[in-house]
């Protein structure tokens, strides 16, 4: 852990969170990351549907993985019909 | 001038009913419980109060003890004063939620009708199950008689809900010996009891520099009980431990307030020494056994034997320093516990007391006695036997090789 975290005197009791849930980044324990081949990709969006963490976004043109939340489960790669996603070691 | 205690009503009731009356007097908002011997009468009696409209409590009928405490925990997180009661296997079934309740700092009050854990199946009294909750982070009070069960249950709300504390409290009453035995119990009048307990005030916490109540309220939304991993878990444990330390003076303070109101006082709220000061041998015990031990102590004192009793009332927070001070000059101490542990040097009571005495310059010889297990009667003879052994050790200076013994077991 590089950053200094607050101590017991600084955090609320009872495990109450002091930040909005959007400030929690939960992708840090991923061991594999999805890498997409943009040329092979047909934009079928099956990966977008299947991602259990809603970590894949689609803006009408591009597909992007949000690495702050991707856990590296590999469901996108498994489900991709043209096999354009590779799971690479972190 | 010393204020006169409040006028009280004398009733012939058993320990369970005494606890139910305490819950009635405590203005409980939510009660969720599941019946189990020997606790059933508490919930049964309380359900009667609800059915008669004598209380405004929301009574939640659940399908298990795990759900009972879960419902209480949820209600408490929403700001309700909550009460539940259970025993033995019920306590074990809710064990997960027992940890949860204390770690998210909800001052639920739970009466535990102490019954041996099944295996072999047994429904009678001993304290194995409640003492097994010692690491769950609850405040734990052991009652000697039904009067103390009533008194402690009402005190429990004040202790647990104190702004410095905010921890759940369990009050223990021995199965059958207290739960099902008729006794004369003084009850406060409703108005006096209500004035003593007051209404629950939620703890205020600081989030983003703002003060908000620790309560699930749409006006000040917070999340209670989220995931805390290796990054914050230990800090929360430290906070929990500090809250338990802050409970130390509160237990005494509420005990004193109670004494002013009712005229009944339980030592300093932790320990009740009886003829300990000049004693050659002291028995330390807890719960209803203390009453029997006191009877024997008085008899032996009348015969000129220098024996004393130290009744332990509050087990969490554990009064280690107080015990060390009281037992510093006692040559031999016997610890009688209605609990059973295997593969260790004695039971939890023996271990904790012995550890509390470790720092003394001259440590007493300490013996541990297992007895009264599975509801076996704890008789005056138990304590005569123990005192005899302790006094013999004092006279001969010879301590036994194995300090752990069983009382009345057939070999």
- A85/chain B closest Cα distance in angstroms: 31
Average pLDDT over residues B281-310: 98
Reported as type and span, the H/E element at residue B336 is: strand B332-337
Domain co-membership, B217 together with B331: no
- Identify whether A18 is part of a domain: no
Q: What percent of chain B has pLDDT over 90?
A: 94
- Identify whether B411 is part of a domain: no
- Identify whether A15 is part of a domain: no
Integer Cα distance of B370 and B126 in angstroms:
10
- What pLDDT does residue B2 have? 60
Q: What percent of chain B has pLDDT over 70?
A: 99
- What pLDDT does residue B297 have? 98
Domain co-membership, B156 together with B231: yes
Domain that includes residue A71, residue range: 40-90
Residue A76 three-state SS: helix
Domain co-membership, B316 together with B356: yes
Q: Are B238 and A21 within 8 A, CB to CB?
A: no
Q: Are B214 and A14 within 8 A, CB to CB?
A: yes
CATH number where B374 lies? 3.40.50.920
Q: Is the predicted pLDDT of residue A3 greater than 70, yes or no?
A: no
Q: Tell me the H-state helices in B189-306.
A: 190-197, 233-262, 289-302
- A67/chain B closest Cα distance in angstroms: 20
- Identify whether A31 is part of a domain: no
Nearest CA in chain B to A7: B235
Give which of B63, B70, B135 is closest to B106, Cα–Cα: B70
Interface test with A, best of B235, B237, B244 (most A CBs within 10 A): B235
- Identify whether B93 is part of a domain: yes
**pLDDT tens digits for range B109-137:** 999 999 999 889 999 999 999 999 999 99
The number of domains in chain B is: 2
Query: Residues with Cβ < 8 Å from B35, sequence gap 6 or more?
Result: B43, B44
Integer Cα distance of B373 and B376 in angstroms:
6
- What pLDDT does residue B1 have? 54
- Identify whether A10 is part of a domain: no
Query: Residues with Cβ < 8 Å from B2, sequence gap 6 or more?
Result: none
- Identify whether A79 is part of a domain: yes
- A26/chain B closest Cα distance in angstroms: 11
Residue A64 three-state SS: strand
- Identify whether B2 is part of a domain: no
- Reading the block at residue B88, the tokens are 């033995």
- Identify whether A68 is part of a domain: yes
Of A1, A5, A13, the CB nearest to B205: A13
**Which residue did the predictor score with more confidence, B1 or B325?**
B325
Nearest CA in chain A to B239: A8
Q: Tell me the H-state helices in A16-74.
A: 46-50
Domain co-membership, B169 together with B22: yes
- Domain edge (last residue) among B228, B262, B296: B262
- Identify whether B122 is part of a domain: yes
Nearest CA in chain A to B210: A18
Interface test with A, best of B202, B222, B245 (most A CBs within 10 A): B222
How does DSSP classify residue B76?
H
* Phi, psi at B311, each rounded to 5°: -90, 125
Q: Show residues of chain B in contact with A8, CB under 8 Å.
A: 235-236, 238-239, 242
- A39/chain B closest Cα distance in angstroms: 40
Domain co-membership, B224 together with B75: yes
Domain co-membership, B300 together with B254: no
- Domain edge (last residue) among B262, B282, B302: B262
CATH number where B243 lies? 3.40.50.970
- Identify whether A16 is part of a domain: no
The number of domains in chain A is: 1
Q: Show residues of chain B in contact with A28, CB under 8 Å.
A: none
- Identify whether B225 is part of a domain: yes
Long-range contacts (CB closer than 8 Å, 24 or more residues apart) made by B189-196: B189/B6, B189/B7, B189/B8, B189/B9, B190/B25, B192/B6, B192/B261, B193/B25, B193/B26, B193/B154, B194/B25, B194/B27, B196/B154, B196/B158, B196/B257, B196/B258, B196/B261
ipTM score of complex: 0.80
Q: Are A14 and B208 within 8 A, CB to CB?
A: no
B90: how many CB neighbours lie within 10 A of its CB?
26
Q: Show residues of chain B in contact with A18, CB under 8 Å.
A: 207-208
Average pLDDT over residues B302-327: 98
Is residue A66 a contact partner of residue A56, using CB atoms and an 8 Å limit?
yes
Give which of B73, B75, B41, B44 is closest to B58, Cα–Cα: B75
Q: Show residues of chain A in contact with B239, CB under 8 Å.
A: 8, 11, 13
- What pLDDT does residue B143 have? 98
**pLDDT tens digits for range A14-54:** 888 877 777 878 888 899 999 999 999 999 999 999 999 99
Domain co-membership, B359 together with B305: yes
- B245/chain A closest Cα distance in angstroms: 15
Integer Cα distance of B332 and B303 in angstroms:
19
Q: Show residues of chain B in contact with A6, CB under 8 Å.
A: 235
Q: Are B224 and A16 within 8 A, CB to CB?
A: yes
- A25/chain B closest Cα distance in angstroms: 13
Integer Cα distance of B247 and B162 in angstroms:
8
Domain co-membership, B90 together with B158: yes
Average pLDDT over residues B253-257: 98
Integer Cα distance of B29 and B282 in angstroms:
43
Domain that includes residue B148, residue range: 8-206+213-262
Integer Cα distance of B283 and B285 in angstroms:
6
Domain co-membership, B299 together with B253: no
Q: Are B225 and A14 within 8 A, CB to CB?
A: yes
CATH number where A88 lies? 3.30.70.20
Q: Which residues sit opposite B12 in a β-bridge?
A: B184
Interface of B with A (CB under 8 A): 103-106, 166, 203, 205-208, 214, 222-226, 228, 231-232, 235-236, 238-239, 242-243
Residue B285 three-state SS: strand
- Identify whether A64 is part of a domain: yes
Q: Is the predicted pLDDT of residue A1 greater than 50, yes or no?
A: no
Q: Kindly report the CA angle at B28 between B27 and B32, in degrees rounded to 5?
A: 160
Domain co-membership, B257 together with B299: no
Domain co-membership, B238 together with B276: no
- Identify whether B3 is part of a domain: no
Of A7, A8, A18, the CB nearest to B207: A18
Is residue B149 a contact partner of residue B200, using CB atoms and an 8 Å limit?
no
Reported as type and span, the H/E element at residue B16 is: helix B15-25
Nearest CA in chain A to B164: A13
Is residue B255 a contact partner of residue B266, using CB atoms and an 8 Å limit?
yes
């Amino acid at each position: 852990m590089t950053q200094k975290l607050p101590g017991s005197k600084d955090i609320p009791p009872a495990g109450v969170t002091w930040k909005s849930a959007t400030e929690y980044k939960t992708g840090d324990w991923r061991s594999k990351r999805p890498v997409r081949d943009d040329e092979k990709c047909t934009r079928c969006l099956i990966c977008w549907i299947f991602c259990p963490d809603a970590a894949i976004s689609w803006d009408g043109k591009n597909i992007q993985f949000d690495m702050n939340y991707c856990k590296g489960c590999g469901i996108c790669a498994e489900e991709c019909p043209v096999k354009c996603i590779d799971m690479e070691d972190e | 001038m010393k204020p006169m205690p409040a006028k009280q009503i004398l009733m012939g009731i058993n320990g369970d009913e005494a606890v139910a009356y305490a819950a009635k007097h405590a203005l409980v908002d939510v009660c969720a419980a599941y019946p189990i011997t020997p606790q059933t009468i508490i919930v049964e009696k309380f359900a009667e109060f609800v059915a008669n409209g004598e209380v405004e409590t929301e009574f939640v009928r659940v399908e298990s003890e795990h759900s009972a405490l879960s419902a209480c925990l949820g209600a408490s997180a929403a700001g309700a004063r909550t009460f539940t009661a259970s025993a033995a296997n019920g306590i074990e079934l809710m064990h997960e939620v027992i940890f949860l309740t204390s770690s998210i700092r909800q001052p639920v009050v739970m009466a535990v009708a102490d019954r041996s854990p099944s295996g072999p199946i047994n429904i009678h009294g001993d304290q194995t199950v409640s003492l097994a909750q010692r690491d769950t982070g609850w405040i734990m009070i052991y009652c000697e008689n039904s009067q103390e069960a009533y008194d402690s249950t009402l005190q429990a709300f004040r202790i647990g809900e104190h702004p410095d504390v905010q921890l759940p409290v369990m009050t223990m009453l021995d199965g059958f010996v207290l739960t099902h035995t008729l006794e004369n119990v003084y009850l406060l009048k409703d108005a006096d009891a209500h004035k003593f307990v007051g209404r629950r005030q939620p703890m205020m916490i600081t989030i983003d520099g703002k003060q908000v109540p620790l309560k699930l309220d749409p006006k000040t939304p917070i999340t209670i009980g989220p995931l805390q991993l290796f990054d914050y878990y230990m800090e929360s444990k430290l906070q929990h431990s500090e809250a338990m330390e802050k409970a130390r003076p509160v237990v005494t303070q509420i005990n004193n307030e109670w004494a002013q109101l009712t005229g009944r006082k339980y030592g300093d709220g932790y320990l009740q020494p009886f003829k300990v000061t000049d004693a050659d041998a002291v028995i330390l015990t807890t719960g209803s056994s203390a009453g029997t031990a006191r009877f024997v102590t008085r008899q032996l004192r009348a015969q000129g034997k220098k024996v004393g009793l130290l009744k332990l009332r509050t087990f969490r927070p554990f009064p280690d320093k107080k015990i060390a001070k009281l037992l510093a000059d006692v040559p031999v101490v016997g610890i009688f516990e209605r609990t059973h542990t295997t593969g260790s040097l004695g039971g939890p009571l023996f271990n904790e007391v012995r550890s509390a005495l470790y720092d003394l310059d001259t440590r007493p010889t300490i013996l541990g006695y297992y007895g009264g297990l599975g509801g076996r009667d704890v008789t005056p003879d138990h304590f005569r036997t123990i005192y005899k052994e302790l006094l013999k050790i004092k006279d001969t200076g010879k301590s036994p090789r194995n300090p752990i013994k069983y009382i009345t077991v057939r070999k």
